[in-house]
Structure 1
Amino acid sequence: MTQTWWKESVIYQIYPRSFKDSNGDGIGDLRGIIEKLDYLKELGVDILWLSPIYASPNDDNGYDISDYYSIMPEFGNMDDFDELLAGIHDRGMKLVMDLVVNHTSDEHDWFRASRQSRDNPYRDFYIWKPEKPNNWQSFFSGDAWTLDPATGEYYLHLFSRRQPDLNWENPGVRQEIYKMMRFWLDKGIDGFRMDVIPFISKRLDFPDADFSDFGKVVEEVYANGPRLHEFLQEMYREALADYDVMTVGEAPGVPPGLANLYVGESRKELSMIFHFGHMFLDWGPKSKFDVRPWSLPEFKQVFLDWHRAVGEEGWISIFLDNHDFPRVVSRWGNDDRYRVESAKMLAILLLTLRGTPSLYQGTEIGMTNVAFSTIEDYRDIETLNAWKAAATAGADLDQLMKGIHRQGRDNVRTPMQWTDSPNAGFTAGQAPWIKVNPNYPHINADAVLKDPDSIFYFYQKLLALRKQHPTLIYGDFEPMAMDHERLFAYKRWDENGVYAVYLNFSDEILADLPHPGEGEYSWLTGNYGPVGSPVAPLRAWEGRVWRGEV
Structure 2
Amino acid sequence: MATTWWEECIVYQIYPRSFQDTNGDGIGDLQGIIKRMDYLVSLGIDALWLSPIYCSPMADFGYDISDYQNVDPVFGTLDDVDQLIREAHTRNIKIIFDMVFNHTSIEHPWFQESRQSKDNEKADYYIWSDSIPNNWQGAFGKRAWSYDEKRQQYYLHSFLEEQPDLNWRNQEVVDAMFSILTFWLDRGIDGFRLDVINCIFKDKTLRSNPRIVGSRPRPYDMQRHIFDRNRPGTHQKLRMMRQLVDAYPDRMLVGEIMVELPGEPELAASFLGRNRDELHLSFDFSLAYTRFNATKWQRSAKRWCEAIGKNRIPSWVLNNHDIPRIVSRLSGNVAKTKLAALFLLTQRGSIFLYYGEELGLPDSKVPWKSIRDPLGKRYWPVHPGRDPARGPMIWSNEKGFGFTDGESWLPFASNAASYAVAEQEQDASSMLHYYRALIGMRREETVFRRGTCAYLDTNNNHVVCYVREYGDEKRLMLLNFSGRKQRVSIRDKHYPKSDWILRFTSQRMLSDAKAETFILQPWQGCIYSLKSRSS
What TM-score results when the alignment is normalised by the length of structure 2? Answer: 0.91
Q: Which residue of 2 aligns with 1:525?
A: 504
- Report the Cα offset of residue 417 of structure 1: 1.0
Q: How far is 1:222 from its partner?
A: 3.3
Matched AA of 1:349: F
Alignment of 1:352-367 (within 5 A): 352-367=346-361
Q: Secondary structure at the match of 1:159?
A: coil
CA shift for structure 1 position 2:
5.6
Quote how far apart the aligned CAs of 1:278 are.
Answer: 2.9
Task: Specify the alignment match of 2:481 in structure 1.
Answer: 505
Deviations, residues 343-373 of structure 1 (Å, cap 9, x unaligned): 322221111112200000000011012333x
Aligned to 1:175, the other structure's residue is in SS state: helix
Residue 394 (structure 1) aligns with:
none
Q: Distance in 1 between matches of 2:294 and 2:151?
A: 52
Report deviation, 1:485. Answer: 5.9
Letter paired with 1:241: A
Distance 1:219 1:349, change over 3 A: farther
Question: Match for 1:256: what amino acid?
Answer: P
Q: How many residues align structurally?
A: 517
Equivalent position SS for 1:364? helix
Q: Which residue of 2 aligns with 1:301?
A: 299
Deviations along 1:94-126, whole A, 9 cap, x unmatched?
101001111111011101111111112111111
Unaligned stretches of 5+ residues in structure 2? none
Change (3 A) 1:198 1:216: farther
The letter for the 2-side match of 1:30 is L
Show structure 1 runs of 5+ residues with no match. Answer: 282-292, 388-396
One of 333, 343, 347 as aligned partner of 2:341: 347
1:319 aligns with one of 317, 320, 323: 317
Matches of 1:531 and 1:525 in 2, distance apart? 13
- Deviation of the 1:170 alpha carbon: 0.5
> Deviations along 1:473-532, whole A, 9 cap, x unmatched?
232322245896643222222433322212223333223454662361111211114566
Q: What is the correspondence of 1:64-143 to structure 2 with a 5 Å cutoff?
A: 64-143=64-143
Match of 1:329 among 327, 330, 334: 327
User: 1:420 is aligned with what amino acid?
Assistant: N
What SS does the aligned partner of 2:302 have? helix
Contact persistence 1:351–1:357 (CA under 8 A): yes
Partner residue, 2:266: 257
Q: Do the aligned partners of 1:202 and 1:225 also contact (CA within 8 Å) in 2?
A: yes
1:244 is the counterpart of 2:250 = yes
Compute the displacement of 1:412 (Å): 1.4
Match of 2:420 in 1: 444
Please, which of 520, 529, 535 is the counterpart of residue 547 of structure 1? Answer: 529
Between 1:498-507 and 1:311-320, the stretch displaced more is 498-507
> Quick one: which amino acid aligns to residue 450 of structure 1?
Q
The CA deviation at 1:256 is: 3.3
Contact 2:360 2:431 in 1 (8 A): yes
- Identity over aligned residues, as a percent? 37
CA contact (8 A) 2:85 2:189 kept: yes
Distance in 2 between residues matched to 1:197 and 1:22, nearest whole Å: 33
Q: 1:82 to 1:99 in 2, by over 3 A?
A: same
Query: Mean Cα displacement is larger for which, 302-311 or 465-474?
Result: 465-474
CA distance in 2, matches of 1:114, 1:453: 58
TM-score, with length taken from structure 1 = 0.89
Are the counterparts in 1 of residues 269 and 282 from structure 2 also a CA contact under 8 Å?
no
Residues 365, 411 of structure 2: 8 Å contact kept = no
Residues 27 and 409, structure 2, Cα contact 8 Å, conserved in 1: yes
Given that residues 11 and 48 in structure 2 are in contact (C-alpha distance below 8 angstroms), is that contact kept between their aligned partners in structure 1?
yes
One-letter amino acid of the counterpart of residue 386, structure 2: R
Partner residue of 2:372 out of 351, 356, 379: 379
Task: Tell me which of 462, 471, 475 is aligned to 1:495.
Answer: 471
Is 1:264–1:313's contact at 8 Å kept on the other side of the alignment? no
Aligned partners of 2:365 and 2:414 also within 8 Å: no
- Whichever residue aligns with residue 469 of structure 1, its letter is E
Counterpart in the other structure of 2:397: 420
Deviations 1:447-477 (A, max 9, x none): 1111122111211111121122222223232
Cα shift readout 1:73-93 (whole Å, capped 9, x = no counterpart) = 000111111111111111111
Contact 2:8 2:348 in 1 (8 A): no
